[in-house]
Amino acid sequence: MADTPTPAADAPATDQTWKPEPRQWTWKDLFTAPMLAFKPVAMLVSGATVVAISALWAFAAAPALGASGSAWPLVAGLFTLASLLIFALGATLVSVYYKADLLDDEFLTPREALGQYAGRVVPALLVPLFLVLLVAGLCVGLLYLPGLIGSIPWVGPALYAILYPVAFAFMVFTLLVAVAATLGLLLFPAIVAIRRHGWFDNVVDTVEAVGTRPHVVVASLAVTLLITLFAYGIGMGGMAALKHLPQVLPGDQLAKTEQRAGEVVRGGLWFVPFATTHCPVQPVWNAPAASDTWEDAEGGYLRWGPGLVVGLIQILITVLVLGYCMNLLLAGGMVSYLVVREDDYWDDEDLEDLDKLAKELEEEAKREEAALTAAQPAAAPAPAPAAEPPKA
């Protein structure tokens, strides 16, 4: 009786749903942020975000605050909220790029990134808005209104003395919520980019991420800030070193060129913090004063030629450096969220991007298996039994 063929013991099970293995994230992944943040498009987006926020404060907030009088705290709060919303829009777009790199393992074109970003604009605005309004509501309800009651002559101080432990508890609770909301600013762009939930669910995700392992978030923020300061020092220090170079060179051509470039940078980015301070030690060289530098033909050439070009290049580099520093903060927030809440991505059934990735990888695995099977040589036929010699 012929033996019935049995399936190979190592044959893949076709009735099981394939799912990619989640990667285990640790705090050491924070040191991959410098490479992750080096994306020219993302650096331009972040640089434009920094410039937009700076312009808001220089050209709108400063005059409004000067004329606000007693309403100064309210006006300052409104401009702070507007700055946060601008930051949220830019940070979420950059986080979409990071999510594709870290979780989907794919390269996004600007058009593809904008397509994914379009569905996240509303959560990107509402999540920080809710967090700010939550802190503001607690300050008004738990601190300001009880303070007004405590201001009533005779009765108020007595109530304040009796209820001081309650007031202390209110103050501590408000401070804790404010700290949690501040830490959430590091994480919410990553959460909005990763989670495909409604905006209020993103708020809950942010609070849970901060509350689950706050020590990890605080430590990650500290490490990220150190990396960001180091990157800022390197980027701006490069231009500062070039400004010092003319001190050891003969002549004053490069000195005048750098002097004119400095004027262009200060004129173009005077309203952007940290943009015009390249080094705490200012360069010193034997160059004529600015009023006397550009009067002759050579001065005019340097002013409208090399000096202007170098200044414009320095403006672009400065914007990119500031954008890169912002990207480092966002990359640190992305990795921090993956460390504290990594299961949120892999266990979320609403993530269409993950489902698409899983299907593509599954189809690729099937094609590779079929190609491997077709390439194997056919089994050699069994040899025919030898004929018995005829009997005498």
d(CA 81, CA 135): 12
User: Nearest Cα to 326, choosing from 98, 124, 109?
Assistant: 98
d(CA 111, CA 165): 56
Question: What are 248-290's pLDDT values in tens digits?
Answer: 888 788 888 888 888 899 999 999 988 875 443 344 334 444 4
Can you give the pTM of this predicted structure? 0.76
> Under the phi-then-psi rule, with left for phi > 0, alpha for psi from -120 to 50, and beta for the rest, what region is 251?
left
Tokens 């943040």, residue located:
37
Q: What is the per-residue pLDDT for 199?
A: 87
Read off the DSSP letter of residue 15.
T
d(CA 319, CA 328): 14
Read off the DSSP letter of residue 197.
S
Question: What are 24-36's pLDDT values in tens digits?
Answer: 788 888 898 999 9
**Crossing angle of helices 72-99/110-118, nearest 10°?**
120
d(CA 164, CA 64): 37
Task: Delimit the domains of the chain by residue range.
Answer: 27-213
Question: What are 134-144's pLDDT values in tens digits?
Answer: 999 999 998 88
d(CA 301, CA 290): 14
d(CA 208, CA 222): 20
For the chain, give percent helix, strand, coil, nearest 5.
75, 0, 25
Question: What are 149-195's pLDDT values in tens digits?
Answer: 888 999 889 998 999 999 999 999 999 999 999 999 889 999 999 88
